[in-house]
Amino acid sequence: MYGVKVKIRVAGEKKARWEIYSNHLGEFEQRLPAGKQDYVLWADLKGYKNPAYKHLQPGPEVTVHIEGDERADTGLHLK
């Protein structure tokens, strides 16, 4: 879905370090520091307005493990 805010934080931290929005294809990307780390991603629907999806709820957080400087593909589900 277009325009959904995605937040990313380092696992073990409470606050998001990055906020990005999904594009017209519902995709998002964020460059993160190279190195071994776990990141937690979630959709923030606060303030999201779309009449066709007015009862939309975020799905569970997703944890992504990065070993070095590789690319990791993941997705978030909305319900």
The per-residue pLDDT for 1 is: 87
Number of domains in the chain: 1
User: φ and ψ at 53, to 5 degrees?
Assistant: -130, 45
Name, in order, each residue with C-beta under 8 angstroms of 24's C-beta and a sequence gap of 6 or more: 2
Token digits of residue 37: 């780390």
Residue 25 lies in a domain: yes
The per-residue pLDDT for 34 is: 92
The per-residue pLDDT for 55 is: 76
Q: Classify burial at 14, counting beta carbons within 10 Å of its beta carbon; exposed 0-12, middle 13-18, buried 19 or more.
A: exposed
What range does the domain containing 37 cover? Answer: 5-66
Residue 78 lies in a domain: no
The per-residue pLDDT for 79 is: 85
Residue 42 lies in a domain: yes
Residue 75 lies in a domain: no
Q: Could you say which DSSP state residue 67 is in?
A: -
Residue 79 lies in a domain: no
Q: Is the pLDDT assigned to residue 75 strictly greater than 80?
A: yes
Residue 60 lies in a domain: yes
Residue 21 lies in a domain: yes
Residue 74 lies in a domain: no
- pTM for the model stands at 0.88
In tens, the pLDDT along 11-57 reads 999 999 999 999 999 999 999 999 999 999 999 998 887 777 677 88
Q: How many CB atoms lie within 10 A of CB 41?
A: 20
